[in-house]
Amino acid sequence: MTIIKVTCPRCGDLDLQVWQLLARRSETSASYEFTCTVCEIDVVKDIDAPTFERLSKAGVRVVTDLGPMTHDYVAAATRYLRENDLLVADALTVES
Ligand SMILES: [Zn+2]
């Protein structure tokens, strides 16, 4: 299990598992967020693109805010995930 080291402004360094973080990217910026496991405050930190990529590759959930989703975007994203062996069955589960 990949451990991500983060810092809470109140509690200091924390070791979180990937599912406890969320990485967010827009056209101009990137950030990650988590809820501190000790004091339970929500922490948001700006990060650079390479850090975003590292988190993404580590398996952190990613939210992109790059404008409306198009069919081409979804197709390209699916292709990327498949080529990089990142496609997980859970991501394709549709609840009925
Ligand atoms: Zn804390």
pLDDT digits (tens, 9 = 90+) for 30-79: 999 999 999 999 999 999 999 999 999 999 999 987 766 677 777 877 88
Give me ligand 1 centre to Cα 2, in Å: 20
Is residue 96 one of the residues assigned to a domain? no
Q: Which helix (H) or strand (E) holds 52?
A: helix 49-58
Q: Which residues pair with 65 in a beta bridge?
A: 26
3-state secondary structure (DSSP) of residue 39: coil
92: three-class secondary structure by DSSP: helix
Q: Tell me the sheet residues that pair with 13.
A: 7
Among all chains, which residue has been given the structure tokens 């994203």? Answer: 77
Ligand 1 ion: Cβ-proximal residues, 5 Å cutoff:
8, 10-11, 36, 38-39
Query: Total structural domains in the chain?
Result: 1
* Å from CA of 35 to ligand 1 middle: 8
- Tell me the residue range of the domain where 63 lies: 3-91
The model's pTM: 0.65
